[in-house]
């Protein structure tokens, strides 16, 4: 079998190295005679007042890696951002930050960023060849103005389309005004993971097209129907913190968590029970649970008449019938239903979550409706399912993007302005959005990084990253975060808001007054926030008490400074009561829940979001490529996951390339053995397989979106992420994906230990006795520092590993060296499996391995220059000036 070992780092032979070394000395001597003067590092002559050399400055801001809107604290040194942390005062994440947020520094300093404005010049139209040429910002901005002006003056402003992410706050208001100034342009808010099924389901059930806030902190019984709420769901960091609190033992009890899905996810690995079910049957299981709860008279807070109507909706979804389709036994379905609706616990103390991307297929909307009805009959709506603090995600549907592509092909679009989204990569290949862009006369891209979409653009206007930008964020009702630039722009980029304001003013007309004359987007942002908190007017005719009270009220400057310091502000939101709409009972829910007829293909594909890369936007960051994926421990690539039985059936082995073919496309992917899949299921992570996304992303892994249907899901207009039939054919070529851990069995070594809850409550716990030591114990006269890790709470998310890379400048080794196990990470998270867990899955145990500041650290005794030593407070200290490497 042939080997294809692509690597980030080129291997240099010893002979070649000696040749280069031999010629380097004379070359350096000759270069020393060059008339070119040496460059000098010149420090600040007059340093800025807020910069003290050697002293860190912190700025509160908001993470821009996904729509969750987590608050951040950014540490800067000498005017440069060096570390990103979670903001403990921000209500969304309360100090936590995911692995993607930790890696945002590599988006800021990425060497592949677009350095300045560029225009595409065609060199050979027949061959499709072109080059990008730099041009001044004034010329680039004027070209945008001229093209818009021409269309608007001709009454064709409606032939302009603006595509952005789902913006919130001030930027959303500005974009709305800008679209109006363009002459009635069409505005699409594109987000690949827009949770269309959740929004459409809630629209049908309650008349509210929203993603509610889920209260994991008060759910004593949690059942997730494929929702990866610890990974890439609507607010994974906040939900992970809430869920961790419920995992801790209180008064001898802790919350119970069950995960139902076709592929074991990182979220499922934290569950007490994991059940494998056939794809697109999760909704049927939820409906069977609803039928059981009503049939056994366990519904809570639901009028009898409504119970009868709901029972009619799920009459044909008995546990026995659902068991035959899903693979989950009828007894298990009934047991879960009884646990979920325990009357001793009372209403509103359980929670069912669905609508995850990895389980959204042809019946996604109906499945989510069944999950919501399960919450309804258990009395959870208004308690653990909160519409008052719902997400403000206002994204267009995938169906809207598909319709836009057809408009482009028909010639109805003459100018496209695309801001910071990459639909060419993240839309199904069969939709051919790249071909649609080719039919648009002129495409303008506002993006900080080159990607598959900018490669089809005629004019590139690079924008700031979130760490260089002013802005605000309103991810959920009542939460308003503030972004502020943590440093000067690294490249010759501009804020998209400044560009919109400049163009809006230059276009003139009645809409020009909607944009500030001076101050740019910063002034627009301040004015918006001042309107949110008006400056108190002076009290002239008032008593001394009234005057004193008025004087104590903060003016806007104080309010603004305090909001910047804290990272935003919050306002109280009123609870929202919802009721089922009468039309719900006229629908054929059971029919809509039925999975599609079995495909003629041999296997069913589950495409799921990547914890590290999300929809692909994080793939050009070496930290995210190098840090092992939590479950399979893969790095620098993705493949196709299948069980050993499936691999044997097609004659393939680990690392071998397999041709994966669907009715909509074909890709080659490396085999990854994963035993935790439902029967007949293969799985592929979304996020890799880039072709124009920079040196760290291009040619890595494979993009499963190329295999998906271009047809939207009927109910919601979302992408059919799961359920695609595929055939597998082994190829005579191996391209192994580096895996840093292949054995997940402890083999009786008891490294990742556990104790049952019953034994813990009974006090039947016997800690391991201390081993005999040849060293004398250290004395710690004042303090002895230590760190404990709650392994019940740890979910293997890798955020701490990314933070370690950032804090310690850990070098990145690349695919070839990682394939040989030469990792340089100072911290890793190992995963072990034990039998005895409930359901179909193993007992997963995540074990962080890190520098533990041991009492007898080997680094202290072997260091020849005494760079490492033991402090009297129990820490291993390092004198960096002594270290010789």
The pLDDT value recorded for residue 762 is 79
d(CA 219, CA 567): 29
Look up residue 679 and give its two tokens.
Answer: 């029967």
Residues 6+ apart with CB under 8 A from 135: 117, 118, 119
Distance CA 797, CA 610 (A): 11
Among the listed residues 762, 773, 850, 754, the one whose alpha carbon sits nearest the alpha carbon of residue 807: 850
685 DSSP β-pair partners: 608
As a whole number, mean pLDDT of residues 149-172 equals 96
pLDDT given for residue 150 in this prediction: 96
- Summarised one tens digit per residue, pLDDT across range 440-482 is 999 999 999 999 999 999 999 999 999 999 999 999 999 999 9
Residue 487 CB burial class (10 angstroms; 0-12, 13-18, ≥19): middle
pLDDT at 554 over 70: no
Q: How confident is the model at residue 225 (pLDDT cuts 50, 70, 90)?
A: very high
pTM of the model: 0.90
H/E run at residue 198: helix 196-206
Q: How does residue 538 score in pLDDT terms, banded at 50, 70 and 90?
A: low
Say whether pLDDT at 212 is over 70: yes
9-28 confidence digits (pLDDT tens): 444 455 554 454 454 444 44
Report, as an integer, the average pLDDT of 324-343.
Answer: 96
Q: What pLDDT does residue 746 have?
A: 83
Cα 346 to chain centroid distance, Å, stands at 34
Q: pLDDT-based confidence at 232, cuts 50/70/90?
A: very high
- The average pLDDT across 142-149 equals 97
Backbone angles phi, psi at 322, to 5 degrees: -70, -35
Domains plus CATH for the chain?
1-42+599-764+807-826 (2.40.40.20), 57-108 (3.30.200.210), 130-194+394-474+486-512 (3.40.50.740), 196-386 (3.40.228.10)
pLDDT(33) > 80: no
Q: Is a pLDDT exceeding 70 seen at residue 140?
A: yes
pLDDT of residue 880: 84
pLDDT at 552: 60
DSSP state, residue 497? H
Q: Specify whether the CB–CB gap between 391 and 235 falls below 8 A.
A: yes
pLDDT band for position 751 (cuts 50, 70, 90): confident
Of 47-61, 393-407, 547-561, 779-793, the range with the highest mean pLDDT is: 393-407
Summarize pLDDT for 174-194 with one digit per residue, the tens: 999 999 999 999 999 999 999
Work out the pLDDT band at 547, boundaries 50, 70, 90: low
Phi, psi of 658 (to 5 degrees): -130, 135
How confident is the model at residue 4, as a pLDDT? Answer: 61
Tokens 């008891």 sit on residue: 750
What's residue 588's pLDDT? 94
Q: The tokens of 777 are what?
A: 């114990």
Percent of the chain with pLDDT over 70: 92
Cα(544)–Cα(159) distance, integer angstroms: 62
**Could you give the angle at which helices 330-340 and 282-295 cross, rounded to 10 degrees?**
60
Residue 444 bridge partners (DSSP): 417, 459
Q: Is the pLDDT of residue 38 over 70?
A: no
Q: Are 223 and 352 in contact (CB under 8 A)?
A: yes
Mean residue pLDDT of the chain comes to 91
Count of CB atoms situated within 10 Å of the CB of 792: 13
* Residues 6 or more apart whose Cβ sits within 8 Å of residue 293: 299, 337, 340, 341, 374, 377, 378
Cβ neighbors of 655 (< 8 A, separation 6 or more) are 670, 671, 734, 735, 736, 737
Cβ within 8 Å of residue 457, ≥6 positions away:
120, 418, 437, 443, 444, 445
Tokens of 605: 């594909």
The overall longest dimension of the chain from CA atoms, in Å, is 95
Angle of helix 169-181 versus helix 520-532 axis, rounded to 10? 120
Please say if the pLDDT value at position 760 is more than 80. Answer: no
Helix (H) or strand (E) holding 305, with range, is helix 304-313
Q: What is the pLDDT of residue 737?
A: 95
**Mean pLDDT, residues 663-672:** 97
pLDDT at 166 over 80: yes
Q: Which two tokens stand for residue 265?
A: 């996810």
Averaged pLDDT for residues 349-368: 96
Q: Is the pLDDT of residue 41 over 70?
A: no
Q: What is the pLDDT of residues 236-262, one digit of tens each?
A: 999 999 999 988 887 778 899 999 999
| pLDDT beyond 60 at 531 | yes
**Type and span of the H or E element at 331:** helix 330-340
Contact 349, 321 (CB under 8 A): no
Residues in the chain: 885
Query: Cβ of 693: how many Cβ atoms within 10 Å?
Result: 25
Contact 462, 447 (CB under 8 A): yes
Average pLDDT over residues 62-68: 96
pLDDT confidence of residue 543: 58
Whether residue 51 has pLDDT greater than 80? no
Question: Which tokens go with 803?
Answer: 């933070």
How large is the average pLDDT for residues 293-305? 96
- Summarize the confidence of residues 553-562 as an average pLDDT: 86
- What integer is the mean pLDDT of 423-434? 97
pLDDT-derived band at 778, boundaries 50, 70, 90: confident
For residue 510, what pLDDT band results from cuts at 50, 70 and 90? confident
Q: How many whole angstroms separate alpha carbon 136 and alpha carbon 476? A: 39
């Amino acid at each position: 079998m042939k080997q294809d070992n692509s690597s980030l780092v080129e291997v240099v032979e010893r002979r070649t190295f000696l040749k280069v070394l031999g010629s380097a000395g004379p070359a350096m001597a000759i270069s020393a005679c060059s008339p070119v003067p040496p460059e000098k590092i010149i420090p600040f002559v007059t340093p800025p007042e807020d910069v003290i050399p050697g002293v860190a400055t912190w700025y509160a801001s908001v993470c821009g890696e996904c729509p969750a809107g987590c608050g951040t604290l950014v540490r800067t040194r000498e005017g440069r951002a060096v570390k990103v942390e979670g903001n403990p005062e921000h209500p969304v994440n309360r100090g936590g930050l995911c692995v993607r947020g930790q890696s945002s520094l590599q988006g800021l300093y990425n060497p592949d960023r677009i350095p300045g404005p560029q225009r595409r010049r065609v060199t050979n139209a027949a061959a499709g060849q072109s080059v990008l040429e730099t041009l001044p910002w004034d010329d680039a901005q004027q070209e945008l103005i001229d093209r818009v002006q021409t269309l608007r003056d001709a009454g064709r402003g409606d032939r302009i389309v603006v595509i952005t992410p789902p913006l919130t706050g001030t930027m959303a208001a500005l974009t709305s005004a800008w679209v109006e100034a363009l002459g009635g342009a069409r505005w699409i808010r594109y987000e690949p993971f827009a949770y269309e099924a959740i929004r459409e389901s809630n629209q049908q059930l309650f008349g509210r097209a929203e993603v509610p806030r889920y209260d994991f902190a008060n759910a004593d019984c949690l059942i997730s129907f494929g929702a990866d709420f610890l990974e890439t769901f609507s607010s994974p960091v906040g939900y992970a913190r809430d869920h961790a609190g419920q995992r801790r033992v209180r008064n001898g009890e802790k919350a119970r968590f069950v995960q139902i899905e076709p592929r074991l996810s990182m979220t499922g690995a934290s569950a007490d029970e994991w059940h494998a079910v056939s794809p697109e049957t999760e909704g049927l299981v939820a409906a069977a649970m609803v039928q059981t709860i009503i049939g056994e008279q366990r519904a809570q807070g639901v009028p009898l008449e409504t119970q009868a109507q709901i029972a009619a909706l799920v009459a044909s979804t008995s546990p026995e019938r659902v068991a035959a389709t899903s693979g989950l036994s009828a007894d298990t379905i009934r047991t879960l239903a009884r646990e979920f609706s325990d009357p001793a616990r009372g209403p509103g103390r359980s929670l069912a979550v669905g609508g995850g991307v990895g389980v959204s297929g042809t019946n996604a909307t109906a499945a989510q409706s069944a999950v919501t009805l399960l919450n309804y009959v258990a009395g959870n709506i208004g308690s653990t399912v909160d519409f008052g603090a719902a997400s403000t995600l206002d994204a267009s549907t995938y169906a809207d993007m598909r319709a836009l592509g057809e408009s482009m092909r028909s010639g109805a679009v003459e100018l496209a302005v695309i801001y910071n989204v990459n639909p060419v990569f993240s839309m199904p290949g069969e939709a051919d959005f790249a071909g649609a862009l080719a039919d648009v006369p002129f495409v303008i891209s506002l993006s900080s990084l080159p990607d598959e979409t900018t490669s089809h653009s005629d004019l590139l206007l690079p924008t700031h990253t979130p760490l260089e930008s002013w802005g605000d964020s309103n991810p959920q009702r009542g939460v308003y975060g503030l972004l502020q630039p943590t440093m000067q722009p690294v490249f010759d980029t501009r804020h998209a808001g400044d560009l919109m304001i400049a163009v809006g003013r230059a276009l003139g007309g009645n809409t020009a007054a909607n944009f500030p004359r001076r101050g740019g987007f910063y002034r627009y942002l301040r004015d918006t926030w001042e309107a949110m908190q008006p400056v108190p007017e002076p009290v002239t005719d008032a008593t001394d008490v009234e005057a004193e009270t008025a004087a104590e009220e903060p003016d806007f400057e104080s309010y603004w400074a305090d909001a910047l310091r804290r990272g935003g502000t919050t306002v109280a939101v009123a609870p929202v009561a919802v009721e089922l709409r009468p039309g719900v009972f006229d629908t054929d829910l059971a029919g809509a829940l039925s999975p599609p007829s079995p495909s003629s293909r041999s296997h069913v594909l589950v495409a799921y979001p990547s914890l590290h890369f999300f929809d692909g936007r994080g793939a050009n960051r070496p930290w995210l490529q190098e840090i092992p994926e939590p479950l399979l421990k893969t790095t620098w690539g993705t493949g196709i996951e299948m069980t050993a039985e499936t691999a044997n059936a097609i004659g393939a082995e680990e690392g071998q390339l397999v041709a994966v073919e669907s009715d909509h496309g074909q890709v080659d992917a490396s085999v990854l053995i994963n035993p935790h899949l439902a029967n007949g299921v293969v799985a592929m992570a979304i996020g890799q397989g880039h072709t124009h996304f920079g040196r760290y992303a291009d040619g890595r892994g494979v993009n499963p979106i190329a295999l998906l249907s271009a047809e939207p899901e009927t109910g919601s207009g979302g992408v059919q992420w799961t359920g695609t039939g595929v055939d597998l054919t082994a190829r005579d070529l191996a391209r192994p994906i580096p895996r840093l851990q292949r054995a997940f069995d402890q083999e009786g070594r008891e490294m990742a230990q556990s104790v049952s809850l019953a034994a813990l409550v009974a006090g039947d716990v016997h800690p391991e006795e201390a081993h005999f030591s040849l060293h004398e114990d250290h004395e710690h006269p004042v303090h002895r520092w230590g760190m404990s890790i709650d392994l019940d709470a740890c979910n293997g998310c890798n955020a701490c590993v990314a933070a370690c890379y950032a804090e310690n400048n850990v070098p990145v080794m690349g695919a070839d060296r990682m394939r040989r196990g030469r990792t340089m990470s100072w911290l890793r998270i190992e995963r072990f499996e034990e039998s005895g867990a409930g359901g179909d899955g193993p007992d997963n145990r995540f074990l962080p391995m890190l520098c533990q500041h041991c009492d007898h650290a080997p680094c202290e005794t072997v260091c020849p220059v005494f760079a490492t030593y033991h402090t009297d407070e129990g820490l291993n200290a390092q004198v960096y000036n002594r270290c010789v490497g």
